[in-house]
Amino acid sequence: MSVPTRLIALSGSTRRESYNRRLVRIAGEGASRAGGEIHLVDLNDFELPLYHADHEAEHGMPKGAAAFKELCVAADGYLIAAPEYNGSLPAALKNAIDWLSRPGPGETELSHTAFRGKVAGIMSASPGAWGGVRGLAHLRQILAGLNVLVTAEQIALPAAQIAFDEHGRLKNATFQTLTESIGARTVHLARVLKNP
């Protein structure tokens, strides 16, 4: 019996009615249809204080950060939807990545067990005309630097405030298909990495 391909799906936005949370759910549906096992994560559910090296040295990793890392280490990859804040990714998402990159017991500074050998599909939704594409460039660079294979496909969804219908699907069928395909592609690449 084959082990399922597990993906963490998360939004870099902490807003309750986040467009990015809606977008990553669509990618998750595509991943599920491709045989992936999706764990939808809300950053609000974890205690992730602003990373501070002195605090970490004195108190260790916060319980919330440790629980989040445990989930991510066990996964094969990520689906990440990130809004663009001032031309880059949101502080909450960057802070979460910083905590995930910290070594746990028996790990070194470069172990990166939450990232190394994993795959990520990335996307963004924004009310603006560019759809958050500048933030995606930074997210791609950060993940690649942590040894994550980021899919070539991505979507930067513009005019997000009018892009979704009442069922949470994208009104534009091309965008809907592309978002679903990012999820499916991420599952495929993760499976190939696990079984070369």
The domain that holds 126 is classified in CATH as 3.40.50.360
Q: Which domain holds residue 98?
A: 5-194
Express each pLDDT in 46-91 by its tens digit.
999 999 999 999 999 999 999 999 999 999 999 999 999 999 999 9
Q: What pTM value is reported for the model?
A: 0.96
**30 CB contacts (<8 Å, ≥6 apart)?**
179, 180, 181, 182, 183, 184
β-pairing, 149-157 with 77-81? unpaired
Give the three-state DSSP class for 128: coil
**pLDDT per residue rounded down to tens, the chain (196 residues):** 578 899 999 999 999 889 999 999 999 999 999 999 999 999 999 999 999 999 999 999 999 999 999 999 999 999 999 999 999 999 999 999 999 999 988 899 889 999 999 999 999 999 999 999 999 999 999 999 999 999 999 999 999 999 999 999 999 999 999 999 999 999 999 999 988 7
Question: What does the alpha-carbon distance between residue 123 and residue 133 come to, in Å, rounded to a whole number?
Answer: 8
Question: What does the alpha-carbon distance between residue 146 and residue 43 come to, in Å, rounded to a whole number?
Answer: 20
**127 CB contacts (<8 Å, ≥6 apart)?**
19, 158, 159, 160, 161
Backbone dihedral angles phi then psi of residue 109, each to the nearest 5 degrees: -60, -25
CA dihedral 111, 10, 95, 85 (to 10 degrees): 130
Number of separate domains in the chain: 1
